[in-house]
Amino acid sequence: MDQARSNKPFLLVGNHPCLDFINTEMIIEGLRTDLLEEPADLIDWLLRAQLIGTDERKGLRLERAETENLLDETKTFRTVLREMAERIVTNKPVPRSTVETINRLLRQRHGYPQLLRTNGRFEHLFHSSTQGPARLLALLADSASDLLCTADLSLVKKCRNNACVLYFYDTTKNHARQWCSMQLCGNRIKVAAHYRRKRLKNP
Ligand SMILES: [Zn+2]
């Protein structure tokens, strides 16, 4: 397994790992760009999204043939999740096939739950005994399951910039978040609108 770190500009603006995972496909300079080009990118994203820890990364033993399938399966699953997010933001039900796909990946996860005490707090932890790609795919499936079970789905939103494909979970107090990020879309759209208004006033 290539242990080299990837240098992909991952964005963690989704407020939920499942949405951040969908957002590994984004628009860069007008072009739809897939940030998961090689297995190392996926491992790095899992680390940055804190779905795996540094120790777990070191312990990952993936054969070359396995990693190729892993990337293909990851992307197929991401497409399913993007369709799911699209349906959620347009108030359509999550299809049964999506639930089945999530369950198929979760079924491959073997292990046991544990209670962990860190810094005086308790945390629920699943100790997975599954190795290889199935372990990583199950983590992604688990994040999707968590989104569906615990999130208020009416607060899953797509960036208001029509040219942007990013999703986020709006955790702001007044639920008024509209942009993936101010730097990427918010300011740009506001500045464009400002100049449009100015042109209309002073033709
Ligand atoms: Zn955006």
- Alpha carbon of 75 to ligand 1 centroid (Å): 21
- Alpha carbon of 199 to ligand 1 centroid (Å): 25
- Alpha carbon of 68 to ligand 1 centroid (Å): 30
- Alpha carbon of 187 to ligand 1 centroid (Å): 10
What is the three-state SS of 139-155? HHHHHHHHHHHHCCHHH
CATH number attached to the domain at 17-201 = 1.10.3300.10
- Alpha carbon of 167 to ligand 1 centroid (Å): 8
- Alpha carbon of 14 to ligand 1 centroid (Å): 11
pLDDT by 10s per residue, the chain, length 203:
444 567 898 999 999 999 999 999 999 888 999 999 999 999 999 999 999 988 888 877 778 778 888 999 999 999 999 999 999 999 999 999 999 999 999 999 999 999 999 889 998 888 888 888 999 999 999 999 999 999 999 999 999 999 999 999 999 999 999 999 988 898 877 777 777 777 777 65
Distance from C-alpha of 162 to C-alpha of 171, rounded to nearest angstrom:
21
Sequence-separated (6 or more) residues with CB below 8 Å from residue 195:
none
- Alpha carbon of 168 to ligand 1 centroid (Å): 10
> What are the domain boundaries of the chain?
17-201
- Alpha carbon of 175 to ligand 1 centroid (Å): 16
